[in-house]
Structure 1
Amino acid sequence: MDSLTTVARLEWWANSSTCLAAFLVAVTIVDGEQGWHAAGQLTRAEEDPDLAALCELDEVFELCLPDDSTMVVMVTALTPTGSFALTEA
């Protein structure tokens, strides 16, 4: 099983040209036999209400990794402390 733990940016896009929010997150992505799964944590706990509000509108975000690669993810299992799970969108 391969894994990656890194700091990334979680972006919420209103449309293809307008990013309305970006959150710095610590994320661990694990690639296993059944595909990948990931867990993350906001680096700034005070942003939790903003992330929760956007998740209520649409759970689809873009995860931007330090190597400039991106993937479309769904933020699920958001907790009051700012931790969450990521699944493939």
Structure 2
Amino acid sequence: MGAIAELSARLAFDADDREWMLEAKCLDADPEAFFPEKGGSTREAKRICTACPVRDECLEFALSNDERFGIWGGLSERERRRAKRLTA
């Protein structure tokens, strides 16, 4: 399943618990920026996350759901793993 299709499927699941996603800045952005190819730039996605009003909720969602791909809450997979270790 492609990154865009996977994200769409995840957004549709438990939509009531994810109303915060409707305020996300990434909804108006190119989804490919949030799921770059290995070695690709994450700069654009992180720039969008910086101005996002639901950045904290997004990061919390990614950490609690063990998201392994993409930029969530302004952090890459590696950065989320590091954050999770530091809070454990």
TM > 0.5 fold call:
no
- Normalised to the residue count of structure 2, the TM-score between the two structures is 0.32
Point out the structure with the larger helix share.
Answer: 2
Point out the structure with the larger strand share.
Answer: 1
